[in-house]
């Protein structure tokens, strides 16, 4: 019973994320990209070029160009990924068509603001759909197909190359500033997606080697209320025993940690590495 309920909750969360994410992508294309004469990356960018060239409406070209890619994804990639991508691409096309039909809001007063707004919408929408195991289609499918054959290739780099080609192609229809606004949109989108996916889970993994672990651990725990790891260690060329403290903290805590370390053990050695956590994790109950 619990297992069935858990699956139902996952399906509902997946469906809501794909629906909302698809709406945000359609909103970005219809209301900000197309009316301001610049392109985004991927199939959406090609659709914007074709509509502004007077060849075909973007909501039609978006889906038509995605059809062969969706078929390839269904055959070559994970079925769950393919199904969610098909659902997302279909929803984006349908929502854009409805927006066109009912003359939905379009913003054409400031191209720079439009690029920023579109970037935020794209970033959040891609983050929502990616987090639930799908994509919006287009270049993401192509990148995943290439990765399947060449595992050492990087998805982000492949998508970047394809997006640059598509953005540059916009010069055939738009002015030179279209490339600038497209790059602004791409940068803001990448940052918005990173922030959405991380949700504050990016931080630092602190490694501190000390001779005074008791005072240092006590001070760190009092300041941050976080559970760390304390290990007895020995250097590769020394016989003296040291203590290694490992502690994950949210971003922006370096200055506070440095003050504590300098106060408790000025002769200690430490460094911090960027780290991610997928759970609330190491917070200590203050009642303990």
Could you give the CA distance from residue 122 to residue 2 in angstroms, rounded to a whole number? 35
Could you tell me how far CA 123 lies from the centroid of its own chain?
Answer: 7
Helix or strand run (H / E) with residue 250: strand 241-250
Segment 154-173 mean pLDDT: 77
Residue in the structure block whose two tokens are 């629906």 = 19
Single out the residue of 44, 40, 42 nearest to residue 58, CA to CA. 44
Helix or strand run (H / E) with residue 130: helix 111-131
pLDDT score for 285: 47
Residue 173 structure tokens? 């229809």
pTM over 0.85? The answer is no
Query: CATH 3.30.70.120: which residues of the chain?
Result: 202-276
CA angle 61, 121, 133 (to 5 degrees): 75
Burial track 192-211 (b if 16+ CB lie within 10 A, e otherwise): bbeebbeeebebbbbebbbe
Residue 213 CA: distances (Å) to CA of 71, 255, 270: 59, 19, 13
Under the phi-then-psi rule, with left for phi > 0, alpha for psi from -120 to 50, and beta for the rest, what region is 248?
A: beta
Output the CATH code of domain 202-276.
3.30.70.120
- The model's pLDDT over 196-248, given as tens digits with 9 standing for 90+, comes to 876 656 677 888 888 888 888 888 888 888 778 888 877 666 667 788 888 88
287 has a pLDDT exceeding 50: no
Most confident among 101-105, 134-138, 152-156 (mean pLDDT): 101-105
Query: Partners of 202 in the beta sheet?
Result: 276
């Amino acid at each position: 019973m619990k297992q069935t309920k858990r699956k139902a909750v996952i399906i509902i969360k997946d469906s809501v994320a794909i629906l909302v994410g698809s709406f945000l992508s359609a909103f970005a294309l219809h209301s900000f990209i197309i009316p301001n004469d610049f392109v985004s990356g991927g199939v959406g960018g090609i659709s914007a070029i074709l509509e502004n060239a007077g060849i075909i409406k973007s909501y039609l070209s978006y889906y038509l160009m995605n059809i062969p890619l969706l078929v390839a994804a269904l055959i070559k990639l994970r079925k769950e990924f393919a199904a969610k991508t098909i659902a997302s691409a279909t929803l984006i096309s349908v929502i854009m068509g409805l927006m066109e039909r009912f003359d939905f809001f379009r913003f054409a007063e400031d191209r720079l603001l439009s690029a920023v707004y579109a970037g935020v919408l794209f970033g959040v929408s891609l983050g929502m759909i990616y987090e639930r195991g799908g994509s919006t289609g287009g270049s993401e499918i192509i990148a995943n197909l290439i990765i399947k054959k060449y595992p050492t290739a990087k998805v982000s780099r492949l998508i970047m190359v394809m997006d640059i080609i598509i953005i540059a192609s916009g010069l055939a229809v738009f002015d030179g500033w279209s490339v600038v606004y497209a790059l602004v949109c791409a940068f803001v989108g990448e940052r918005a997606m990173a922030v959405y996916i991380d949700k504050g889970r990016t931080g630092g993994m602190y490694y501190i080697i000390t001779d005074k672990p008791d005072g240092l651990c006590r001070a760190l725990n009092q300041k941050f209320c976080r559970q760390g790891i304390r290990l007895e260690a020995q250097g590769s060329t020394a016989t003296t025993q040291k203590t290694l403290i490992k502690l994950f903290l949210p971003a922006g805590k370096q200055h506070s940690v440095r003050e504590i370390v300098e106060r408790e053990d000025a002769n200690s050695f430490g460094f911090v590495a960027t780290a991610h956590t997928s759970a609330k994790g190491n917070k200590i109950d203050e009642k303990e």
